């Protein structure tokens, strides 16, 4: 007999689908089947039972091999590494729950670290634009119930957020959108004809990195001014056609992704996009939503926001104040300038996504990776601490791409002895307190001073 | 067993009727008691003022729009001289922000001023988990949050059809799901209209599609509130906020309350709380002839016993406005061209965030400043008049001490009034210069302690020093026999000499000494109603068809509020 768990929240992408059904074995240890999920989401659940799961912390030895050690030893090593470092970097957070993030941030404050999340190489530029111009947005349910004009710009949900189109943006029938897809006009702006472009009513193919210019042209036409015959590879007629289509709508939504945040112009592209939406509000209702990637990258920013006031790149290394200066306190910059002397990678894969030079520096400083799986980061770390998988083996709060918090569900037990992220951080914090007390000091700065004096 | 005795302070307390009498106050195990043993810790309060812990009836300190404000205003953490990102006391965490402080700064600063309870004024139900996460992480102060109902599709349908039983069952369900405290109503109908880029400017405008008017919504919500016997009245932010000439809309909205009587045994005597009245008491036809109508509005409030209000005093600072009144924020953004944040929430509400600079030499801002003070000074019943800044809309809550000083010292406020660039024009457009009244310490204790406690239905446990009540107590360096003036008075309120929360010493000489032993509680209301199959069916259907989350994932489960104080009605 299997038992079915309903309303399971898929902890893969920022869409955070909450309608999965998971069949688990009688003893609550094995996942048998997953329904309603996309292919990626289903695999997230089904792979858990695969052989080869790491269940004990692994410490790298002098010869490059790994040796299993106990959690106590791993916690002690982490606490000491953090205390000895002047400026440790805590990077990641996007694939764990908010409870763990809060506990981890507390540890970072104690040890004078820099906290940064995946936004730093993702929607960080969107956040910078939001800091410059604001953000008119809404929840995804508003899109489902009202939107009749939907723009996808530099994003490809057909592959990156597979159920986004069916749950929220193109196909669903909502209260004021009873006709579903037939009542919506879909516009896709991209430099390639993606699978999302194939389901769009209007595909605007732009030259790569001409997003800013095209936004400018759209805004110019919207204000009734003339534009050149062609902008960024798009004929003027096409731009005018798009504007007419948008103005005739009652509720316009712009979804945007990496194609906008990481092409030439970066935050300025988003800035222009936000102002385009703001301008559109003179004619009709218009909003925009960022296509956040990891399932809880939004939550990592939220927790950091209410604890220290910034969405990412928060430097607590002075122990007396929080600083936020993107370009200076962002992870890639800190690494390539050799400004951090220890690194904790949590619930994310730094080595797989950062520029080579940043990854190389990370491999030369003491690094601890906290992750359920083996990844490129774990293989470049001095210590890999395995943890339970959020949304599968442990619950906790996560934030969807529209900032709606959803409580994830536990489906099966974690392998025996494997800790949760939150508990791990609390135990490291406790060990830090112990070490400080043993040395008769009360802050990390005093500890460092004492160590330096002794040597 | 901890026992504390506060000796020889000047006690101001409306519950026990003490108006500055020199007396002792005893605390034991987190409660006030009549006497303690000789082993009690003695705190000497000679020459100091003693009051119960204060309550804030309306403040935006937790939730999605507050955090959006923190996200998109890094500059709010970089103000010079305002301790905006700093570790201030040895035993506290790093505190950040000025107008939208982090949760840590929020808890610590309220405690330093002697506050024990905050009401988060607007909780979008879909985001209630976020609100509770922030509340959980805010140290020291007890909190509660009110879900918004004024633009809710369920309520529109039930109220339009006069189905009060269904409305009540739905509200009760929602309060349980969101761990909410009462019925908040923001720009009734207008926030829904904003989903189409429209608004409701008077109480008789039709809400698009839903075929109901703000007037019907307000009346319906009051009826529902009294049917459920909720501890707090309907908490209203009426239509047409912030526009010249809006006082007529305000009076129309207030008049709806005339037909109702409170129906609760928790001590509340009002049926409608109109919040941040300053923003709703404007005369004139445009910004040129913009003027105060505080007298007209307060005359009505004074003679209508069923209404309570809070002031929403402008503090003339750079701040961040945030409200569930989405259309207002859009218009404000169009007015000042600063950044505009907006979040519409499916089936429930809208909201917006815009930074705003209340310039000391901007005539309109100065008139707003005067109106806020006038409302408090025109009040004939301090028990129904609370002092707020609608934090952070009219100014940050950390400016409460300054407002108290303006209200208690005519010279202090007149000096500022006369220093304005357009002083003559401001004086002509307002009543403030003619008002000689100075609020007394006893009246202040009513406006910030006993009053809000009564209006919120918490007078059994908070807002006073009577035996058995929660031992929240503030001692200020204010000697009523030798009243400090102006800035000295302000500083005395900003840094309490002592603040005890549940009988635990949290603050001494304005420094948070230890926040760890305090158990902060989340208050919510569990209203009992008969099972209502119709409502459960409607809820099921709407979640199936229109919400973007499943019904099974909507409830705020217990671990978001680890220490709950549940009020059952």
Its domain, for residue A307, covers 58-122+295-387+420-454
Average pLDDT for B524-533: 95
CA A387 to CA A367: how far, in whole Å?
A: 16
Q: How many residues does chain A have?
A: 455
- Mark which of A241, A271, A290 sits at the end of a domain: A290
A396 lies in some domain: no
Average pLDDT for A188-204: 96
CA A129 to CA A254: how far, in whole Å?
A: 15
Average pLDDT for B446-473: 96
- Chain B nearest-CA residue for A404: B127
A400 lies in some domain: no
Residue A405, chain B, CB below 8 Å: the answer is yes
Whether B443 and B375 share a structural domain: yes
Whether A262 and A304 share a structural domain: no
Whether A20 and A72 share a structural domain: no
Per residue in A39-60, pLDDT tens? 999 999 999 988 889 999 999 9
Residue A396, chain B, CB below 8 Å: the answer is no
Write out chain A in H/E/C secondary structure.
CEEEEEEECCCCECCCCCCEEEEEECCCCCEEEEECCCHHHHHHHHHHHCCCCCCCCEEECCCCCEEECCHHHHHHHHHHHHHHCCCEEEEECCCCCHHHHHHHHHHHHHHCCEEEEHHHHCCHHHHHHHHHHEEEEECHHHHHHHCCEEEEECCCHHHHCCCHHHHHHCCCCCCCCCCHHHHCEEEEEECCCCHHHHCCCEEEECCCCCHHHHHHHHHHHHCCCCCCCEECCEEHHHHHHHHHHHHCCCEEEEEECHHHHCCCCCHHHHHHHHHHHHHHCCCCEEEEEECCCECCHHHHHHHHHHHHCCCCCEECCCCCCCECCCCCCCHHHHHHCCCCCEEEEECCCHHHHCCHHHHHHHHHCCEEEECCCCCHHHHCCCEEECECCECCCECEEEECCCCCEEEECCCCCCCCCCECHHHHHHHHHHHHHHHHHHCCCCCHHHHHHHHHHHC
B 543-562: CB under 8 A from A: 545-550, 552-553, 557, 560
Is residue B144 within 8 A of residue B345, CB to CB? The reply is: no
Does the beta-carbon distance from A140 to B85 stay under 8 Å? no
A282 lies in some domain: yes
Does the beta-carbon distance from B64 to A403 stay under 8 Å? yes
- Mark which of A267, A290, A313 sits at the end of a domain: A290
Average pLDDT for B487-505: 96
- Chain B nearest-CA residue for A173: B545
Per residue in A82-136, pLDDT tens? 999 999 999 999 999 999 999 999 999 999 999 999 999 999 999 999 999 999 9
Whether A118 and A129 share a structural domain: no
Is residue A329 within 8 A of residue A323, CB to CB? The reply is: yes
Name the phi and psi angles at A61, rounded to 5. -95, 170
Does the beta-carbon distance from A307 to B103 stay under 8 Å? yes
Is residue B116 within 8 A of residue B470, CB to CB? The reply is: yes
Average pLDDT for A377-387: 97
What is the pLDDT at residue B1? 59
Whether B489 and B532 share a structural domain: no
Q: How many residues does chain B have?
A: 569
Minimal C-alpha gap between B444 and chain A (Å): 31
Average pLDDT for B42-55: 97
B 52-71: CB under 8 A from A: 62, 64, 66-68, 70-71
Choice between B78 and A142, residue whose per-residue pLDDT is larger: A142
CA A208 to CA A135: how far, in whole Å?
A: 25
Whether A234 and A175 share a structural domain: yes
A31 lies in some domain: yes
Per residue in B198-216, pLDDT tens? 999 999 999 999 999 999 9
Name the phi and psi angles at B97, rounded to 5. 95, 155
A404 lies in some domain: no
- Chain B nearest-CA residue for A301: B71
A401 lies in some domain: no
Whether A148 and A248 share a structural domain: yes
Is residue B197 within 8 A of residue A142, CB to CB? The reply is: no
B403 lies in some domain: yes
Whether B472 and B536 share a structural domain: no
Strands A2-8 and A20-25: antiparallel
Whether A157 and A269 share a structural domain: yes
Whether B528 and B418 share a structural domain: no
Minimal C-alpha gap between B559 and chain A (Å): 9
Whether A188 and A285 share a structural domain: yes
Q: Give the count of domains, chain B.
A: 2
Whether B104 and B178 share a structural domain: yes
Q: Which of A9, A138, A320 sits opposite B86 (nearest CB)?
A: A320
Residue B81 reports pLDDT greater than 80: no
Whether B367 and B421 share a structural domain: yes
CATH code at position A203? 3.40.228.10
Whether A269 and A129 share a structural domain: yes
Nearest to B124 by CA among B190, B71, B191, B72: B191
Whether B123 and B195 share a structural domain: yes
CA B196 to CA A407: how far, in whole Å?
A: 30
Contacts of B169 (CB under 8 A, 6+ apart): B529, B530, B532, B535
CA A308 to CA B104: how far, in whole Å?
A: 8
Query: Residue A116: is the preceding peptide bond cis (ω within 30°)?
Result: no
CA B446 to CA B455: how far, in whole Å?
A: 11
Q: Give the count of domains, chain A.
A: 3
Q: Which of B102, B345, B560 sits opposite A306 (nearest CB)?
A: B102
Whether A143 and A192 share a structural domain: yes
Residue B335, chain A, CB below 8 Å: the answer is no
CATH code at position B235? 3.20.20.140
Whether A80 and A44 share a structural domain: no
Residue A28 reports pLDDT greater than 90: no
Whether B454 and B532 share a structural domain: no
CA B283 to CA A257: how far, in whole Å?
A: 47
Does the beta-carbon distance from A145 to B546 stay under 8 Å? yes
Q: Which residues of B touch A399 (CB under 8 A)?
A: 130
Average pLDDT for B386-405: 97
Minimal C-alpha gap between B329 and chain A (Å): 10
Best mutation target, B346, B350, B554, to test chain A (most A CBs within 10 A)? B346
Is residue B262 within 8 A of residue B306, CB to CB? The reply is: yes
Q: Which residues of B touch A407 (CB under 8 A)?
A: 129, 553, 557
CATH code at position A377? 3.40.50.740
Is residue B242 within 8 A of residue B314, CB to CB? The reply is: no
CA A91 to CA B94: how far, in whole Å?
A: 20
What's B202's DSSP letter?
S
Whether B359 and B309 share a structural domain: yes
Whether B499 and B531 share a structural domain: no
A406 lies in some domain: no
Whether B473 and B533 share a structural domain: no
Tokens encoding B378: 């025109």
ipTM of model: 0.96
What is the pLDDT at residue B516? 81
- Chain A nearest-CA residue for B544: A174
CA A54 to CA A371: how far, in whole Å?
A: 10
Whether A147 and A285 share a structural domain: yes
Does the beta-carbon distance from B72 to A102 stay under 8 Å? no
Per residue in B263-275, pLDDT tens? 999 999 999 999 9
What is the pLDDT at residue A49? 85
Residue A9, chain B, CB below 8 Å: the answer is yes
Whether B147 and B215 share a structural domain: yes
Q: Which residues of B touch A135 (CB under 8 A)?
A: 68, 72, 340-342
Its domain, for residue B163, covers 51-512
Per residue in B258-304, pLDDT tens? 999 999 999 999 999 999 999 999 999 999 999 999 999 999 999 99
B426 lies in some domain: yes
Tokens encoding A428: 């490291």
B15 lies in some domain: no
Does the beta-carbon distance from A144 to B546 stay under 8 Å? yes
B8 lies in some domain: no
Average pLDDT for B439-462: 97
Average pLDDT for B425-450: 97
Residue B517 reports pLDDT greater than 90: no
Mean pLDDT of the residues in chain B: 95
Best mutation target, B549, B552, B558, B561, to test chain A (most A CBs within 10 A)? B549
B24 lies in some domain: no
A410 lies in some domain: no
Whether A105 and A131 share a structural domain: no
3-class DSSP assignment, residue B483: coil
Does the beta-carbon distance from B209 to A102 stay under 8 Å? no
């Amino acid at each position: 007999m299997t038992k079915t768990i309903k309303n399971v929240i898929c902890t893969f992408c920022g869409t955070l689908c909450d309608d999965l059904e998971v069949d688990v074995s009688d003893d609550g240890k094995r996942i048998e089947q997953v329904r309603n999920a996309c292919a990626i989401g289903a695999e997230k659940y089904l792979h858990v039972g695969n052989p080869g799961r790491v269940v004990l912390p692994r410490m790298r030895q002098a010869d490059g091999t790994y040796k299993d050690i106990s959690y106590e030893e791993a916690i002690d090593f982490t606490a000491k590494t953090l205390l000895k470092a002047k400026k440790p970097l805590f990077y990641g957070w996007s694939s764990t729950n908010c409870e763990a993030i809060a506990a981890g941030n507390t540890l970072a404050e104690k040890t004078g670290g820099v906290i940064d999340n995946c936004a730093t190489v993702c929607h960080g530029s969107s956040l910078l634009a939001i800091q410059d111009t604001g953000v008119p947005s809404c929840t995804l349910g508003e899109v489902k119930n009202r939107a009749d004009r939907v723009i996808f710009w530099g994003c490809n949900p057909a592959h990156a957020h597979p159920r986004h189109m069916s749950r929220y943006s193109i196909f669903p029938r909502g209260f004021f959108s009873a006709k579903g897809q037939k009542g919506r006009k879909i516009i896709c702006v991209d430099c390639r004809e993606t699978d999302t472009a194939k389901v769009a009513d209007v595909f605007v193919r732009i030259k790569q990195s001409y997003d800013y210019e095209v936004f400018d042209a759209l805004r110019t036409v919207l204000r009734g001014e003339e534009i050149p015959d062609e902008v960024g590879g798009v004929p003027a007629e096409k731009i005018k056609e798009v504007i007419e289509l948008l103005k005739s709508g009652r509720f316009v939504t712009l979804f945007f992704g990496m194609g906008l945040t990481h092409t030439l112009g970066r935050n300025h592209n988003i800035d222009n996009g936000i102002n385009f939406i703001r301008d559109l509000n003179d004619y009709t209702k218009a909003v925009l939503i960022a296509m956040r990637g990891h399932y809880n990258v939004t939550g990592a920013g939220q927790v950091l926001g209410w604890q220290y006031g910034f969405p990412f790149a928060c430097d607590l290394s002075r122990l007396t104040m929080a600083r936020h200066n993107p370009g200076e306190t962002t992870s890639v910059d800190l690494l390539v300038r050799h400004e951090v002397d220890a690194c904790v990678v949590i619930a994310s894969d730094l080595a797989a996504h950062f520029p080579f030079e940043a990854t190389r520096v990370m491999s030369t400083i003491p690094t601890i990776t906290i992750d359920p799986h083996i990844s490129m980061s774990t293989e470049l770390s001095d210590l890999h601490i395995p943890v339970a998988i959020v949304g599968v083996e442990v619950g906790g709060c996560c934030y969807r791409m529209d900032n709606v918090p959803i409580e994830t569900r536990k489906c099966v037990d974690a392998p025996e002895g494997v800790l949760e992220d939150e508990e791990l951080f609390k135990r490291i914090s406790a060990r830090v307190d112990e070490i400080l007390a043993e040395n008769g000091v009360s802050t990390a700065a005093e500890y460092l001073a004492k160590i330096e004096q002794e040597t | 067993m901890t026992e504390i005795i506060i000796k020889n302070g000047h006690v101001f307390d409306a519950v026990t009727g003490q108006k500055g009498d020199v007396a002792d106050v005893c605390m034991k195990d987190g409660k006030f008691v009549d006497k303690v043993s000789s082993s009690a810790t003695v705190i000497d309060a000679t020459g100091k003022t003693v009051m119960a812990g204060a309550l804030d009836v309306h403040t935006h300190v937790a939730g999605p729009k507050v955090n959006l404000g923190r996200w998109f205003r890094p500059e709010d953490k970089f103000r010079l001289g305002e301790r905006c990102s700093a570790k201030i006391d040895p035993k506290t965490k790093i505190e950040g922000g000025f107008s939208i402080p982090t949760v840590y700064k929020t808890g610590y600063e309220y405690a330093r001023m002697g506050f024990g309870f905050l009401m988060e004024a607007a909780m979008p139900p879909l985001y209630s988990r976020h609100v509770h996460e922030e509340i959980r992480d805010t140290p020291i102060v007890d909190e509660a949050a009110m879900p918004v109902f004024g633009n809710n599709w369920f309520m529109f349908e039930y109220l339009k059809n006069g189905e009060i039983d269904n409305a009540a069952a739905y509200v009760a369900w929602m309060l349980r799901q969101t761990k909410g405290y009462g019925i908040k109503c923001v720009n009734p109908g207008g926030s829904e209209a904003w989903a189409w880029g429209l608004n409701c400017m008077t109480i008789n405008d039709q809400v698009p599609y839903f075929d109901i008017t703000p007037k019907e919504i307000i009346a319906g919500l009051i009826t529902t509130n009294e049917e459920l016997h909720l501890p707090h009245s309907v908490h209203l932010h009426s239509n047409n906020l912030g526009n010249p000439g809006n006082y007529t809309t305000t009076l129309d909205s207030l008049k709806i309350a005339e037909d109702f009587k409170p129906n609760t045994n928790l001590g509340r005597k009002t049926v409608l709380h109109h919040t941040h009245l300053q923003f709703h008491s404007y005369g004139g036809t445009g910004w040129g002839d913009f003027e105060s109508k505080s007298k007209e509005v307060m005359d009505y409030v004074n003679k209508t016993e069923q209404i309570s209000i809070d002031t929403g005093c402008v503090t003339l600072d750079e701040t961040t406005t945030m409200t569930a009144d989405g259309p207002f924020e859009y218009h404000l953004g169009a007015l000042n061209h600063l950044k505009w944040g907006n979040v519409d929430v499916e089936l429930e509400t809208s909201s917006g965030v815009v930074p705003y600079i209340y310039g000391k030499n901007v005539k309109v801002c100065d008139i707003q400043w005067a109106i806020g003070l006038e409302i408090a000074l025109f009040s004939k019943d301090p028990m129904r008049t609370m002092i707020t800044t609608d934090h952070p809309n009219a100014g940050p809550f950390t400016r409460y001490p300054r407002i108290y000083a303006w209200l208690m010292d005519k010279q202090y406020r007149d000096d500022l009034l006369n220093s304005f660039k357009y002083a003559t024009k401001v004086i002509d457009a307002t009543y403030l210069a003619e008002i000689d009244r100075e609020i007394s310490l006893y009246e202040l204790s009513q406006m910030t302690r006993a009053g809000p406690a009564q209006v919120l239905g918490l007078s059994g446990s908070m807002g006073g020093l009577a035996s058995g009540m929660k031992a929240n107590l503030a001692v200020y360096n204010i000697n009523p026999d030798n009243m400090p003036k102006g800035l000295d008075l302000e500083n005395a309120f900003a840094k309490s000499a002592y603040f005890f929360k549940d009988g635990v010493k949290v603050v001494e000489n304005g420094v948070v000494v230890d926040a760890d032993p305090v158990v902060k509680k989340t208050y919510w209301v569990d209203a009992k109603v008969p099972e209502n199959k119709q409502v459960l069916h409607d809820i099921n259907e709407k979640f199936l068809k229109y919400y973007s989350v499943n019904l099974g994932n909507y409830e705020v489960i217990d671990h978001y509020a680890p220490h709950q104080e549940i009020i059952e009605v």
